[in-house]
């Protein structure tokens, strides 16, 4: 799985195997990222573009040249749709990222840096440009190990990070399900909202660390609790998790937070209950809430604010 990073900086200075250029169909240089890359690579880039692309390049397609004087080894050129000129076909923007990764695989590139294609002078709405970039890179099969999305703007950087972290809560829940399948039945979760209501958060802990019968009564040892909040975006136990992280990899992060924990397949009732909870999460598209300020939990855990509830978890065996 490709590791996706949001990077604040100049794309021409990225120390990667391949840099992606937001080119024009003529492939003869231009403004914005295209002009910056041509200036950084040197005059030989234009000569190579004329030689390799005598008839230009189609919108949504990608091709490569050497990188001239840049740190990168290759430049992968792709032509995004010009939203400002009326080309609003989203599939073409998606194709830019897919084709760029395909070309990177053909070259054997293991690291790549993307600009936000079409989000500059071509006028593609920035939020959607970010969404397309992150999700397409994450969903495209590739041998690339690291993909950077590079921007000069701090606000855009934060938006990219937000998109990268948008599915992390679902991944954390699925990681617990993976660990249940590995036999770690004792791992339990307790999700809720921060006092401000702005962030969803969840605690994960072995059942023998719980006071009494219910999770809300607290923990015997606060050091044996792994906590995640959407306020920390992509950080779980000090490690980075993004939309592209496999649940199995996230499960390994969770397990590393509990050194010495051994499988204990002794709570099938909770495992079944939790699996049913995740089915509801998928169906409703909302995260579970066990607690929040002024939250009525008498009917169980609510899925967001949908009015759909899941029963309270079963008690810990032997309690």
Active site residues: 34
Q: Residue 5: beta bridge partners?
A: 148
Distance from C-alpha of 153 to C-alpha of 67, rounded to nearest angstrom: 24
Q: What DSSP element (H or E) covers 108?
A: none
Handedness of CA 172, 173, 176, 181 (dihedral sign): negative
| Spatial CA neighbour of 166 closest among 228, 234, 250, 253 | 234
Q: 75 phi and psi, to 5 degrees?
A: -115, 125
**By the 8 A CB rule, do 99 and 61 touch?**
yes
> Which residue is it, tokens 């692309």?
53
C-alpha 104 chain-centroid distance? 20
Handedness of CA 128, 76, 234, 159 (dihedral sign): negative
**By the 8 A CB rule, do 93 and 115 touch?**
no
Q: Which residues of 11-31 are buried (b: 16+ CB within 10 A; e: fewer)?
A: bbebebbbbbbbbbeebebbe
């Amino acid at each position: 799985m490709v590791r996706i990073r949001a990077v604040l900086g100049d794309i021409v200075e990225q120390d990667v195997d391949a840099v992606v250029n937001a080119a024009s169909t003529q492939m003869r240089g231009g403004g914005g990222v295209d002009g910056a890359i041509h200036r950084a690579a040197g005059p030989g880039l234009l000569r190579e573009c004329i030689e390799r692309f005598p008839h230009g390049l189609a919108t949504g397609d990608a091709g490569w040249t050497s990188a001239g004087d840049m740190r990168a080894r290759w430049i992968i050129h792709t032509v995004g749709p010009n939203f400002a000129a009326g080309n609003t076909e989203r599939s073409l923007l998606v194709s830019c990222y897919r084709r760029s990764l395909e070309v990177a695989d053909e070259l054997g590139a293991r690291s790549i840096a993307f600009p936000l294609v079409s989000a500059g002078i071509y006028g593609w709405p920035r939020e959607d440009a970010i969404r397309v970039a992150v999700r397409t890179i994450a969903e495209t099969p590739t041998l690339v190990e690291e993909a950077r999305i590079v921007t000069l703007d701090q606000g855009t950087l934060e938006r990219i990070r937000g998109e990268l972290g948008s599915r992390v809560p679902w991944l954390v829940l699925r990681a617990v399900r993976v660990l249940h399948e590995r036999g770690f039945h004792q791992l339990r979760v307790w999700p809720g909202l921060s006092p401000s209501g702005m962030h969803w958060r969840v605690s994960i802990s072995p059942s023998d660390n719980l006071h009494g019968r219910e999770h809300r009564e607290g923990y015997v040892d606060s050091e044996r609790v792994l906590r995640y909040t959407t306020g920390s975006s992509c950080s779980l136990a000090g490690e980075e998790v993004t939309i592209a992280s496999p649940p199995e990899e996230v499960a390994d992060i969770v397990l590393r937070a509990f050194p010495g924990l051994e499988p204990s397949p002794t709570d099938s009732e909770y495992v079944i209950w939790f699996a049913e909870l995740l089915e509801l999460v998928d169906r409703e598209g909302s995260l579970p809430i066990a607690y929040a300020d002024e939250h009525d939990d008498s009917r169980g855990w609510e899925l967001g604010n949908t009015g759909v509830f899941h029963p309270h978890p079963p008690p810990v065996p032997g309690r």
